[in-house]
Structure 1
Amino acid sequence: MARAPRIHVAADFTVGGDVVLPEGAARHVARVLRMGEGAPLILFDGQGREASAVLIESGRKRVVARIETVETGCGESPMLVHLGQAISKGDRMDYAIQKAVELGVAAITPLYTEHGDVRLKNDREARKLAHWQAVAVSACEQCGRATVPPVHPPMSLTDWLGERDEALRLVLHPATNRVLERETAPSSVVLLIGPEGGLSHTEVDAALAADFSLLSLGPRILRTETAPVVALSLLQYRFGDL
């Protein structure tokens, strides 16, 4: 039996209550998946709650689901990781965000760095941020998470470093420090990934001054969108739920 599709709907879930699907989700359910009345689906509110529902109306203008059960989602990692990801062009940034969400990241901040070649301003930044948040939502629909991690507005690396208070702070950089061999799991982690051209010496020094430790991922140079996948996998394996 095919698995019921998971749809993000920012709504209050009440057993027996009806939820009108927003335009994008309604179009996907009615026109792409061609689901009719009586079809089951899973809704999640992005704040940790998940509901089993059934379609009671599936038309061109309106799609409505009736809530049958409500429960707490179970796809969250016990380890809270904040990812600081240098902004990269096009699909590479989308890939980094998508995979980070699949690997349980709790929050993402796109960063402007010295060697980064992307600079967003005003409306373009707002559009990109909305797009990246939609990528995170889509990843949650796919991977089974009921909590959508926020993608924060882009900021400079300097400002971002000044806000850090996580228990374990890591910056990817060629090094020999064995920082993942600590005995106890940290209460929170922050992970800094540089751009395609790498972080500058000044930026690395600034991270070290902010109590970051150097983390090496081996002798090969990884692309900026591959690095968070490998690093988050290691962290989840060592301290999380992999």
Structure 2
Amino acid sequence: MLSFNDFVSLWEKKIGKTLEKTLISQKINLSRKSMGDIYDHNSLVEAIKKVDVVISSVGMEQIADQTKIIAAIKEAGNIKRFLPSEFGTDVDHIHPVEPAGTFFRNKSNIRRAIEAEGISYTFVVSYGFAGYMLPSVGDSNAKVPPKEKVKILGDGNCKVEDPRILNKILKLRPPTNILSFNEIFSLWEKKIGMTLEKIYIPEDQLLKNIQATELSPEVKYTTIDEYLDRLV
């Protein structure tokens, strides 16, 4: 087993203070922390020199800015592993349309930049987080879980799973959480004791609408079934 230094690199600006409070609330030890700013190259290099592994958790608006982290890692020269911000699907095996296409290309470009620099890495693919997707039970336009009718993209039978195992890509796929939209809504109907009106949106209609608007075993994880109980 590898042993790593337990420093945490935080931004010095407002978001860093917010992150620090969050980490403390999660009882993460910050007795050894190193302050750095992704937009201040020198401070970032100094922070990175004190750690062995860099785990990026930047938000979607800063995905492309991870090139600054890559440059700092390259200059520091001591990093054993870099985990870029992923939080979603495997960007190398999807074919998104705009406006999502640009976002996913940024993620893919970061992967290629890491590989080109010869930095050791792990890409963590988590697919859809239950806490992000399920409060609206998969309907991105809904503010609360549906009680009358739902809109389902496609036929609702496709599951969010890629059966391919790729080198150096860690895919988080708890078996009981690999469900189609139809299966998720079936669970939800059982919990609320109601039958929802289902409106299926074919792929060609969805694409037309988008163009028109320019738009590990020991881990105890929360199942989709358990998470839906919180929403009843």
Is the TM-score greater than 0.5? no
| Higher strand fraction (1 or 2) | 1
Higher normalized contact order (CA 8 Å, seq sep 6+, divided by chain length): 1
TM-score (norm 1): 0.30
TM-score (norm 2): 0.31
